Structure 1
Amino acid sequence: MPITSGPETKKSAALPTIAIVGRPNVGKSSLFNAIVGRRVSIVHEMPGVTRDRVVAPLARGVRRFQLIDTGGLGMLPGESRKVDVWDSRIADQVKVAVEDADVLIFVANVQDGVVNLDEEVARKLRESGKPVLLAANKCDNPALADQAVEFMRLGFAEVYPVSCLHRNGVNALVESAIGLLPETERPREDGGVDGLDSENIARKLNIAVVGRPNVGKSSLVNALLGEERVMVSDVAGTTRDAIDVDFELRFRGAMHPATLVDTAGLRKTAKVDTVVEYFSVMRAKSAIERADLILFVVEASPDGVTAQDRRIAGLIQQSGKGCVLVANKFDVYKETYKVKQMESEVRYSLPGMNYAPLVFVSARDRWNLDGLLDRIAGVMEQLELKIPTGVLNRVITDAFEGHTPPVVGAAPLKLFYASMIGMTPPRILLFVNNPKYCADNYLTFLRNVVRNAFDLSGLPIEIELRERPKKVLSIRSEPGMPRKRGSRKPAAAPEKKSGKPAAGKSAPRKGAPKKRGRK
């Protein structure tokens, strides 16, 4: 398998960036969703819902850029009382976003007026030296828009009254921010342009990291990226939004653009007790649907695979996406258990995921990440595989001849033709005499034959059975009147003799001499 000379990942070349900042509960996520045009960030009236940096690539005309939503800055300098446990960590995330951004959009709540936290955020943004646009949000009526003048005392040149609810003033704000962005044309060694190569953007691979809470999904994302990109803690539910992070993976000797998606932990539906967690679960399921490849993270322990893991495995199987099974936290048990022991335990607990390659890793110690990247590259190779029809028919025919299908019903199963009708996942169509004559275990046998013949590791295989039409009617035949080949039109029946003369002939007169022919 032509994979790579050595696994490697690195951060993708950054597009020009616009970051949205402000204190908690002023509508930053609402503004982010209004600009993006869809619900990406979770919006709720409870402060502190957004914790990590949520990034979305956008294009307006010929300009491409990244939009970043950040958590609220909820601490004043030296404040220690009534401080949330996440405030300092959110502040660190915002600091990184401000440093990486080219333009900042400072959001304030016009209905609250200027508060102390607004002044503190404004001071920090002025110290950054970046261009800042002040958006006075929640101007849902003209009277509130007039009150936005109050925010001029924060020291910025202009205030943009906006209403995310009615989308008033959003386009003017975005156009002004785009006008402050630097030029995006940065030449590359291959002659392309960073951020403007639409072909690379279209071929970007989406890799979703899913699993139940506290199995180390965020730790694995940080280990693969080589930086503390998303928050990690022992508290279940730390990750809320689906966090997209662009990076590049070495594949076929070149760097391939990809997006790594960190998702919230999927708990049992009956245990989802808050609206925010419900939205987090919906974002995680959406990430599975739009992913090309799924990293299903479980805990590498003797009793680590739980009933919830099996439910998540069912979601992945229903999605039909490629999958790599990642057993994390192996550093805790590798001194006591061998890899083969743990592998047999995981395979026994997740029988439906036998098609997915299993990799043991330790995100904390960055152990065996190269093996994981090799497996990812291998599945990427299979995603582009096209099986020729002739080769596929020979493989299926040999399987039928080598292992005769069991008789189910009135007659044995017969194969007429096989064809590949889909790629992701591989979908194979078999024309047979009757689909009801195929046993379920024989269909599983055929899937394994195709997987082993073409090394389709990591991809589920769908086989559709279809009955071949018994007769194909000619397009010249009338409906309901099939005509056999070689048949001729029947001759007209002879007329019966009657006493009446035929039409157009006169009857002979009585007594007239009969004509006699010559002897």
Structure 2
Amino acid sequence: MAAPVVAVVGRPNVGKSTLFNRIAGERISIVEDTPGVTRDRIYAHAEWLGKEFSLIDTGGIEISDQPILTQIRQQAEIAIDEADVIIMVTDIDTGVTAADEQVAKILYRSDKPVVLAVNKADNIARRNDAYDFYSLGLGEPYPVSSVHGVGIGDLLDAVVDDLPEDKQQAHDRSIHLSLIGRPNVGKSSLVNAILGENRVIVSGVAGTTRDAVNTHFTDDQGHEFTMIDTAGMKKKGKLYENTERYALMRAMRAIDDSDVVLVVLNADEGIRELDKHIAGYAHEAGKGVIIVVNKWDLLKGHKQETMIDFTNLIRQEFQYLSYAPIIFVSAKTKQRLNKLPELVATVYQHHNRRVQSSTLNDVLVDALAANPTPTVNGRRLRVYYMTQVAVAPPTFVVFVNDPELMHFSYLRYLENKIRDAFDFTGTPIKIIKRHRQ
């Protein structure tokens, strides 16, 4: 299940994003240089004292055309909606301001644990000024310097003390799936249509870190599914609901909870940049992925020809999702919706597939014979053997004489050979290179 969520909130220019980056550390860096993969920093995974949590930078949630105090209030409300623990960031240079007091009142009424960070406390003399922030009524203020890393350990100790205990649900063997995408691609209509198509609703499964209720259902083949509720999408009328970054943050939560992610596109509007951002997160998270093109009924002209063109466009724009199957559906007419549950079950099976080491190394031997390893600076790469070490996603370790000699292109070649030999449609696979004497 998803990790608990910690939100960083506060008025502008107090150093929220700097603190966010300091806590996230190297985990925030995206190591795969693949076209279309997002570089957005609103959401990251972090760890302290062995406890993992998701981190939200509400300072990155841009709410345009709003007075500054309204934006602050809305961002605080986002933190309250999403977070299990909230870090409120203040600035020791300015002292307690009216905006700080407004945020503190909102957070105080939320009944969520709040840890108060007083930023820019770079030396002992300035740290003593932090006591003034007791007046906010949020408990002990923790003086920190996001830039220099001072006091971050004490702050995180307080954060993890307030994190909820794990609430993993035992004996839940259903396939967890979610529909993600930018606003107005038809996610809600698709959810309703899918549940209408599969009327055997067994129960409501409570979410682990939020108040949303996930829906459990069974298809005609007996596959059990849990549809992840992307909590908050029903809250129409709130100004921040339509902001792109907030939609992105909601998608992150759903992805964390899922085994298989349905990336929903709007056939009528084509592919937008935010589509690629959201899909990139699903890829990086190592989840099973299906690309669902909704509102296919709205396209005019020769459908088969249009379908080929749209498929080619998707493959061009989502190069890193070359493994993801594409299905064209309509929530309105129910076109091809009956095929979705079976496709989800198939992708889930591939996502959890294990390959015997002996069979895997037969494929490796054939791959090496067809394309011998390269020589770099007079040294030849030697590949000894390969073994699978994990599933979800399938992860392989290849043992070599020197990992530095194995170029990214040769790793991609081996991945293609594995995909040719075994059906891993819908799931990313990872290959890790290791040194062996």
User: Which residue does 2:255 correspond to in 1?
Assistant: 288
Greater RCO (CA < 8 Å, at least 6 residues apart): 2
User: Which residue does 1:220 correspond to in 2?
Assistant: 190
SS for the counterpart of 2:385 is strand
| Distance in 2 (alpha carbons) for counterparts of 1:316 and 1:405 | 32
User: Which residue does 1:439 correspond to in 2?
Assistant: 407
SS for the counterpart of 2:226 is strand
Q: Return the match for 1:368 from 311, 317, 336.
A: 336
Q: Return the match for 2:364 from 396, 404, 410.
A: 396
| Distance in 1 (alpha carbons) for counterparts of 2:379 and 2:232 | 49
Change (3 A) 1:243 1:214: farther
| Distance in 2 (alpha carbons) for counterparts of 1:286 and 1:341 | 32
Change (3 A) 1:409 1:358: farther
SS for the counterpart of 1:451 is helix
Alignment of 1:469-480 (within 5 A): 470=437
Q: Return the match for 1:352 from 300, 320, 342.
A: 320
Change (3 A) 1:242 1:402: farther
Deviation at 1:407, TM superposition (A): 2.9
Change (3 A) 1:365 1:242: farther
Q: Return the match for 2:272 from 296, 306, 324.
A: 306
What TM-score do the two structures reach when normalised by structure 2? 0.54
Point out the structure with max Rg over C-alpha: 1
Alignment of 1:26-65 (within 5 A): none
Corresponding letter in the other structure for 2:275: D
Which string of whole-angstrom CA distances, capped at 9 and with x for unpartnered residues, describes residues 131-170 of structure 1? Answer: xxxxxxx9x9xxxxxxxxxxxxxxxxxxxxxxxxxxxxxx
Deviation at 1:280, TM superposition (A): 6.2
User: Which residue does 2:180 correspond to in 1?
Assistant: 210
Deviation at 1:285, TM superposition (A): 1.0
Deviation at 1:246, TM superposition (A): 1.5
CA contact (8 A) 2:380 2:405 kept: yes
Q: Return the match for 1:460 from 414, 428, 436.
A: 428
Corresponding letter in the other structure for 2:289: C
Deviation at 1:413, TM superposition (A): 1.6
Alignment of 1:12-27 (within 5 A): none
| Distance in 1 (alpha carbons) for counterparts of 2:351 and 2:364 | 21
Corresponding letter in the other structure for 1:368: R
Ranges of 4+ aligned residues in structure 1 off by more than 6 Å = 275-280
User: Which residue does 1:109 correspond to in 2?
Assistant: none
Corresponding letter in the other structure for 1:214: N
Change (3 A) 1:333 1:401: same
User: Which residue does 1:413 correspond to in 2?
Assistant: 381
SS for the counterpart of 2:353 is coil
| Distance in 2 (alpha carbons) for counterparts of 1:217 and 1:275 | 15
| Distance in 2 (alpha carbons) for counterparts of 1:250 and 1:399 | 40
Change (3 A) 1:358 1:419: same
CA contact (8 A) 1:241 1:280 kept: no
Change (3 A) 1:274 1:292: same
SS for the counterpart of 1:274 is helix
Change (3 A) 1:327 1:275: closer
User: Which residue does 2:396 correspond to in 1?
Assistant: 428
User: Which residue does 2:226 correspond to in 1?
Assistant: 259
Which string of whole-angstrom CA distances, capped at 9 and with x for unpartnered residues, describes residues 399-452 of structure 1? Answer: 111112333344222111111000100000000011111121221121121122
User: Which residue does 1:113 correspond to in 2?
Assistant: none
Aligned residues: 264
CA contact (8 A) 2:264 2:292 kept: yes
CA contact (8 A) 1:243 1:262 kept: yes
User: Which residue does 2:34 correspond to in 1?
Assistant: none
Alignment of 1:61-100 (within 5 A): none
Deviation at 1:306, TM superposition (A): 1.4
| Distance in 1 (alpha carbons) for counterparts of 2:188 and 2:417 | 37
CA contact (8 A) 2:197 2:338 kept: no
Corresponding letter in the other structure for 1:329: K
Return 5+ residue gaps in structure 2 as ranges.
Answer: 1-52, 55-71, 79-108, 112-168, 200-209
Change (3 A) 1:298 1:321: same
User: Which residue does 2:214 correspond to in 1?
Assistant: 244
User: Which residue does 1:126 correspond to in 2?
Assistant: none
| Distance in 1 (alpha carbons) for counterparts of 2:241 and 2:395 | 38
Change (3 A) 1:207 1:412: same
Return 5+ residue gaps in structure 1 as ranges.
Answer: 1-37, 51-137, 141-197, 230-239, 267-271, 471-519
Deviation at 1:397, TM superposition (A): 1.5
CA contact (8 A) 1:208 1:261 kept: yes
Corresponding letter in the other structure for 2:295: K
| Distance in 2 (alpha carbons) for counterparts of 1:385 and 1:416 | 23
Higher helix share: 2
Change (3 A) 1:223 1:328: same
Q: Out of 383-392 and 413-422, give the one that drifted further.
A: 383-392
| Distance in 2 (alpha carbons) for counterparts of 1:377 and 1:308 | 27
Which string of whole-angstrom CA distances, capped at 9 and with x for unpartnered residues, describes residues 466-500 of structure 1? Answer: 010x2xxxxxxxxxxxxxxxxxxxxxxxxxxxxxx
